[in-house]
Amino acid sequence: MITRTTRLGLLAATLAIVASACSGAATPTPAAPSVAPSVAAPSVAPSAAPSVAASPSPAASTSAGAALKIGVVTDIGTLNDKGYNEYSYKGAQDAATTLGAATPPSIVPKDASEYKADIQQFVDQKFDVIVTVGFNLTSDTVAAAKANPTIHFVGVDQSPVCVDPTGAPDATFACKGDAKTLLPNYTSLYFAEDQAGYLAGIVAAYASKANIIGAIGGTTLCAPCVRYIQGYELGAKSVKPAIVVKSSYVTRDFSAAAFNDPAGGKIFADTFIKTNKVDVLFQVAGKTGNGVLEAACASKIYGIGVDVDQWTSLGAPANACVITSAEKHVESAVNQAITGIAAGNLAAGDVLFNAANDGIGASDFHDKASLFGPEVKTALDAALAAMKAGTLKTCPDTGCGVAK
Amino acid sequence: MDITPLVNGLYGIPVLGLVFQAIGYLVAVIPPNSTSIMSQATPLALAALCGVLCERSGVVNIGIEGTMLASAFTAWVVGVAINPMFQAAPTDVFGITIPLVIALIAAIGVALLISALHAWLSISLRADQIISGTIINIAAFGVTGYLDQLISKTSPAGAGEFTRFTPPDALTNLPGVGWIVSMFLNQGPIAMSAIVLIVGAQVWLFRSRWGLRTRAVGEHPRAAETVGIDVIRLRYKNVMIGGMFAGLGGAFLSIEATNSFQLGMTNGRGFIALAAMIMGRWTPLGAFASALLFATFLQLGQLINIAPPGGDLGTIMSAVPAQLFDALPYILTIVILAGVVGRSVPPAADGQPYERESAT
Q: pLDDT, tens digit, for every residue of A330-359? A: 999 999 999 999 998 888 888 999 999 889
A17 pLDDT above the threshold of 60: no
What kind of fold does domain A195-327+373-389 have according to CATH? Rossmann fold (3.40.50)
Residues 96-135 of A with CB under 8 A from B: 108, 110
pTM above 0.95, yes or no: no
State the nearest Cα–Cα gap between A284 and chain B, in angstroms.
15
Yes or no, beta carbons of A271 and B299 under 8 Å apart: yes
pLDDT given for residue A296 in this prediction: 95
Yes or no, beta carbons of B135 and A250 under 8 Å apart: no
Q: Does A220 touch chain B (CB under 8 A)?
A: yes
* Mean residue pLDDT across chain A: 82
pLDDT given for residue B5 in this prediction: 67
- A70-73 β-sheet, strand order: A106-107, A70-73, A129-133, A152-156, A186-191, A349-353
Yes or no, beta carbons of A315 and B157 under 8 Å apart: yes
Yes or no, beta carbons of B260 and A31 under 8 Å apart: no
Chain B residue numbers with beta carbons less than 8 Å from the beta carbon of A251 are: 326
Q: Does A319 touch chain B (CB under 8 A)?
A: no
Residues 73-92 of A with CB under 8 A from B: 77-80, 82
| 3-state DSSP assignment of residue A321 | coil
Q: Does A8 touch chain B (CB under 8 A)?
A: yes
State the nearest Cα–Cα gap between A299 and chain B, in angstroms.
12
Higher pLDDT, residue A28 or A69: A69
For the stretch B23-72, pLDDT in tens is 888 888 888 889 889 999 999 999 999 999 999 999 999 999 999 999 99
A39: confidence class by pLDDT, cuts 50, 70, 90: very low
A314 pLDDT above the threshold of 90: no
B358: confidence class by pLDDT, cuts 50, 70, 90: low
Yes or no, beta carbons of A18 and B153 under 8 Å apart: no
Structural Rg of chain B based on CA atoms:
23
Yes or no, beta carbons of B306 and A11 under 8 Å apart: no
Q: Quick one: DSSP state of residue A16? A: G
Percent of chain B past pLDDT 70, that is, above it, reads 92
A206 pLDDT above the threshold of 80: yes
Per-residue pLDDT, averaged over A360-387, amounts to 93
Percent of chain A past pLDDT 90, that is, above it, reads 53
Chain A residue numbers with beta carbons less than 8 Å from the beta carbon of B143 are: 5, 8
Q: What are phi and psi of B261, to 5 degrees?
A: -125, 135
A86 pLDDT above the threshold of 80: yes
A300: amino acid identity, one letter: K
Higher pLDDT, residue B101 or A253: B101
Chain A residue numbers with beta carbons less than 8 Å from the beta carbon of B306 are: 248, 268, 271-272, 275-276
Residue A283 · residue A264 · CB < 8 Å? no
For the stretch B254-265, pLDDT in tens is 999 888 888 888
Beta strands A322-328 and A302-307, pairing class: parallel
A363: confidence class by pLDDT, cuts 50, 70, 90: very high
Q: Quick one: DSSP state of residue A220? A: T
**Domain map (residue ranges) of chain A:** 56-191+329-360, 195-327+373-389
Residues 133-172 of A with CB under 8 A from B: none
CA nearest to A289, candidates A256, A257, A265: A265
pLDDT given for residue B33 in this prediction: 87
For the stretch B222-244, pLDDT in tens is 999 999 999 999 999 999 999 99
pLDDT given for residue B94 in this prediction: 84
Chain A residue numbers with beta carbons less than 8 Å from the beta carbon of B267 are: 256-257, 260-261, 264
How deeply is B12 buried, as exposed, middle or buried, from its count of CB atoms within 10 A (0-12, 13-18, 19+)?
Answer: exposed
Burial B229-246 (b: 16+ CB within 10 A, else e): bebbebbbbbbbbbbbbb
Q: Which residues pair with A187 in a beta bridge?
A: A154, A349
Residue A275 · residue B303 · CB < 8 Å? yes
A50 pLDDT above the threshold of 50: no
Per-residue pLDDT, averaged over A63-68, amounts to 73
Q: Per the CATH hierarchy, to which homologous superfamily does domain A56-191+329-360 belong? A: Response regulator (3.40.50.2300)
Residues shown for chain A: 404
pLDDT given for residue B257 in this prediction: 87
- The rounded distance, in Å, linking the Cα atoms of B79 and B162 is 12
pLDDT given for residue A88 in this prediction: 92
**Residue of chain A nearest B305, judged by CA positions:** A248
**Range of weakest confidence among A15-19, B190-194, B294-298, B319-323:** A15-19
Residue A165 · residue A141 · CB < 8 Å? no
A10 pLDDT above the threshold of 50: no
CA distances from A379 to A342, A360, A375, A376, A384 (A): 38, 16, 6, 5, 9
Higher pLDDT, residue A112 or A229: A229
Which of B121, B258, B261, B325 should be substituted to probe chain A, the one whose Cβ sees the most A Cβ atoms within 10 Å? B258
Q: Which residues pair with A219 in a beta bridge?
A: A251
**Residue of chain A nearest B318, judged by CA positions:** A404
Residues 6+ apart with CB under 8 A from A264: A250, A257, A288, A291, B40, B267
For the stretch A87-146, pLDDT in tens is 999 999 999 999 999 999 999 887 788 899 999 999 999 999 999 998 889 989 999 999
Chain A residue numbers with beta carbons less than 8 Å from the beta carbon of B160 are: 317
CA nearest to B304, candidates B281, B328, B340: B328
pLDDT given for residue A71 in this prediction: 94
A207 pLDDT above the threshold of 80: yes
Q: Quick one: DSSP state of residue B343? A: -
**Range of weakest confidence among B10-19, B209-218, B305-314:** B10-19
Percent of chain B past pLDDT 90, that is, above it, reads 49
pLDDT given for residue B155 in this prediction: 62
Angle at CA A302, nearest 5°, toward A297 and A304?
100
Percent of chain A past pLDDT 70, that is, above it, reads 84
